A and B are shown apart, each in its own frame.
Chain A
């Protein structure tokens, strides 16, 4: 039953999941809030991040704390080519972007299938120690993931609140035309936001691949979760993502421990349906006028 020991483990697992969901969903909502693109290929970048980490860390033995950010940086830098030739054409075109990026998602996943075939691989844990604190057992690996994710999220917060480029991003997210009229070069802001969004997705993809397994289609679930988080929190709302991610991560950890994972998925989607019926703008979003 619910002893303090079990409770702590549920919370640690939940926070680990929440960290991954928040990273994926933050980029997803950033792309929507600023460029109005619905990035159905977001999960594909998470998948690529997983493979990048696999090569750097599992195959080439680069130290984990270097490999995790470098793998994500590599994916984000390579994705800038897609920004130039695909994404840029669909900025501020929400409906066209959905179809185009759904296609891009299939293209990336199928390419990955050709290169890496369909069998699952695993990324070795960051640290294999088990922490034991007064009867509570926690895999240290989970804590490393939470710590790296927390650093990434803190860096994102500091960037958006204490730099000029970050302020420009927040302004553009609220009103692109007016931001432009204040002298902000939106092309630069778009590119930067894209880079940050893909970096976070790829970083989360590494963690996700480590927690579960790597496969060319592993991006589907993080994408789905990003959707739920963003709808829970409110489309385009950054605090909403943090709240939605925590609710979903902790909820999933709790429900799947006691009732199994199918119940947890059922409840997550059920909550989204209820929310869409009664509060379609999300917990922290603002209603459209």
Chain B
């Protein structure tokens, strides 16, 4: 049984369509890339899964339960973590405080231990633990946003545009760390990315979105050979 299944998802903001029929499924411990251009519906899909935007149609099933109508705080408790587009770290809070906010849904007693694990994945965050998040570089802020989301020990991690505005070498490093965490914690990741090249190499399967719809869903091995994908997204 898949960890999460999204079927025919429709999201609407007033009169504007966010998504109009997105379907996807992800297994435990798998990285699934959500690839598409700006406005394809990647962010809307992630926000709908987390309950941040209302679902106008379709179903979202996580661990056999329907998530529709639940508040974000309830969905996080069920084991879904989220790192938003643009990182959105709390600028006036220190690095350690940002991480502590991420542990909001977990027992206080385990916060320190989990924080050690996160610092293990991202040693840079430990060095800067007492600094304000606003003083970090873009790459460090992205690491903090990922670490913050992982503080809640999610089974599924929704990661929105982590490569945005970062140097390629930093993007590669974040990919390596993500792969490491996936292996160690059997974490499932939905990676929404405009950088299709990077996302398709990191993920095992991918869903290609266009204008709010799923157009192709397959393994990344196949997609990297698919002329529709290589032509439109990889620029080859």
Contacts and interface: CB of A to CB of B under 8 A. Distances in A.
Interface of A: 164, 167-168, 170-171, 174-175, 177-186
Contacts of B93: 167, 170-171, 174
Interface residues of B, number: 24
Question: 4 nearest interchain CB pairs?
Answer: A183-B76, A183-B105, A185-B73, A178-B88
Contacts of B84: 177-178, 181
Nearest to B104: A183
A183 B52 contact: no
Interface string B137-175: 000000000001100100000000000000000000000
Residue from B76, B84, B104 whose CB has the most chain A CB atoms within 10 Å: B104
Contacts of A184: 73, 101, 104
Contact of A164 (B52, B76, B108): B108
16 contacts: A167-B97, A167-B100, A170-B90, A170-B97, A171-B93, A171-B101, A174-B93, A177-B52, A179-B90, A179-B101, A180-B52, A181-B72, A182-B104, A183-B76, A183-B77, A183-B104
A168 B52 contact: no
A contact patch SS? helix
Contacts of B21: none
B120 interface: no
B71 interface: yes
Interface of B: 50, 52, 71-73, 76-77, 82, 84, 88, 90-93, 97, 100-102, 104-105, 108, 148-149, 152
A186 B168 CA distance: 37
A160 to B, nearest CB: 11
A262 B105 CA distance: 53
A181 B101 contact: no
B159 to A, nearest CB: 12
Nearest to B151: A182
Given A170-B92, A175-B90, A181 B97 contact: no
Contacts of A175: 88, 90
A182 B103 CA distance: 8
